[in-house]
A = this chain, B = another copy of it.
């Protein structure tokens, strides 16, 4: 395989570590820049440039290298090497570089550099989120995240969807998906007042009260009713004081929305989409996933036997891509759960007594991991535990909602066929006290050329967690925003 000539490096022909490790250009002169991961025996540099989880071994002729330079080859230092690519004698690598020239580009004082060649706690690394991506674990996670993002776009574009950038700043607060952050240009405690003594939002930047969006769905629906198939993929926000391993104040959400598609189509789409994007990373992130699979096995070993996962990371991913998703109505699921062993033996933290109960993660996981042993899509939920815009079934008490349930985490996707009937939608809004004036534009989609349509939402970080096996959601986004934390 030829080394790619990287066209915007105006230097000696060079490749990345990834290129060189795959090449067989033995005895060729190569040039390479990267960061030192380790340096041992005054001779062997493990060099990484971020292009792959693997390092390339650079062998120094230490007798002909001045001592001052040798001292500066420390973990984290940026260096440039020139040398000859040769077959490696060492195990675990096919090639190495016999270095003829080395230059220290940027030092890294080992007394001060926080990222040492040892295991750091994830908590410590979170406090150094600007440097943690220099570790094996985080570089692997972030490469997988990048590839997974691309898989999302590729899937929808290949299927004829249009990407819609729905607004982040929103004047509408009627979506009811959770607490919102306020956006303002007013100086704190210096907002002007109206004559009546209220805050005079007409003087704020947008002339009204504005918030950070919790979902692009309602706007996406207006686009689906014109372009047919659309999707969003953008940041969304929750001002909820949830300090858990599953919640972020700022996270990326994927929301497809399709005109003329009903709930069955929506379930087909969700299943096909998830399988496709996970298959994409299984194919394109083999080295990173192999590393993360190993990492997770190690982590699991430190847990008590009973808490260990039955599947490895790669097994879990294949569990999704290779199984059909079982479709089960909420009502059936309640029956199964009510009669289940853990329910009878009072092992559930939240016992299931009657129809109408909101399912918890423990119930969702029981259905997936113990009962069906495959991914599950629950549908037709009680209307009163779901959002106002979901389509009411003929029974008058359930809505055409669906949740996709995964092993280990429970719900990963929530979606619905939307209420397309203007009169029913208005009744629902009135019952919930949602002002029609706030959502006049949303109601217009039902007033003019309304049609059956459906879509779903998927929190991207939950998908990255699933794909990488990281237990804490703060470890799958570059700079997590959580209560009391907006560092960097």
A149 → chain B, closest Cβ, in Å?
5
The residues in A between 213 and 232 inclusive whose CB is less than 8 angstroms from any CB of B are 219, 222-223, 225-229
Contacts A9-B261, A222-B133; is A142 near B164 (CB within 8 Å)? yes
- The reply to whether the CB of A49 lies closer than 8 angstroms to some CB of chain B is yes
Q: Is the CB of B50 within 8 A of A259?
A: yes
Q: Is the CB of B188 within 8 A of A131?
A: no
Q: What is the bound-complex CA distance between A486 and B204, given in angstroms?
A: 11
Which residues of B are found within 8 Å of A184, using beta-carbon distances?
A: 181-182, 184, 188
Q: Most chain-B CB neighbours within 10 Å: which of A139, A145, A150?
A: A150
Interface locus among A295-303, A369-377, A442-450: A442-450
Q: Is the CB of A485 within 8 A of B207?
A: yes
A281 → chain B, closest Cβ, in Å?
13
Q: Is the CB of B10 within 8 A of A268?
A: yes
Q: What is the bound-complex CA distance between A11 and B154, given in angstroms?
A: 25
Q: Is the CB of B166 within 8 A of A222?
A: no
Indicate which residue in B106, B191, B441 contacts A449 across the interface (CB closer than 8 Å): B106
Interface locus among A401-409, A466-474, A476-484: A476-484
- The reply to whether the CB of A350 lies closer than 8 angstroms to some CB of chain B is no
The residues in A between 177 and 200 inclusive whose CB is less than 8 angstroms from any CB of B are 179, 181-186, 188-191, 193, 199
Q: Is the CB of B76 within 8 A of A167?
A: no
- The reply to whether the CB of A334 lies closer than 8 angstroms to some CB of chain B is no
Q: Is the CB of A106 within 8 A of B420?
A: yes
Q: Is the CB of A167 within 8 A of B199?
A: no
Q: Quick one: copies of this chain in the complex?
A: 2
How would residues 451 to 468 of chain A score, 1 for a CB under 8 Å from any chain B CB and 0 otherwise?
A: 110000000000000000
Which residues of B are found within 8 Å of A131, using beta-carbon distances?
A: 222, 226, 444, 448
Which residues of B are found within 8 Å of A190, using beta-carbon distances?
A: 189
The residues in A between 52 and 67 inclusive whose CB is less than 8 angstroms from any CB of B are none
Contacts A76-B449, A448-B113; is A479 near B130 (CB within 8 Å)? no
Which residues of B are found within 8 Å of A51, using beta-carbon distances?
A: 160, 227-229
Q: Is the CB of A133 within 8 A of B477?
A: no
Contacts A139-B227, A169-B249, A229-B50; is A449 near B181 (CB within 8 Å)? no
Indicate which residue in B206, B265, B477, B487 contacts A486 across the interface (CB closer than 8 Å): B206
Indicate which residue in B108, B166, B228, B484 contacts A479 across the interface (CB closer than 8 Å): B166
- The reply to whether the CB of A250 lies closer than 8 angstroms to some CB of chain B is yes
- The reply to whether the CB of A291 lies closer than 8 angstroms to some CB of chain B is no
Q: What is the bound-complex CA distance between A484 and B34, given in angstroms?
A: 49
Which residues of B are found within 8 Å of A237, using beta-carbon distances?
A: 168-169
Indicate which residue in B35, B208, B446, B478 contacts A165 across the interface (CB closer than 8 Å): B478
Which residues of B are found within 8 Å of A129, using beta-carbon distances?
A: 441
A235 → chain B, closest Cβ, in Å?
5
Which residues of B are found within 8 Å of A189, using beta-carbon distances?
A: 189-191, 193, 199
Contacts A76-B449, A164-B478, A227-B142; is A250 near B105 (CB within 8 Å)? no
Q: Is the CB of A49 within 8 A of B228?
A: yes
Contacts A153-B150, A188-B184; is A488 near B172 (CB within 8 Å)? yes
* Given A33-B451, A50-B227, A165-B477, 12 new contacts (CB under 8 A): A18-B160, A50-B162, A106-B448, A109-B448, A131-B448, A133-B222, A133-B226, A133-B227, A167-B481, A181-B184, A205-B483, A206-B483
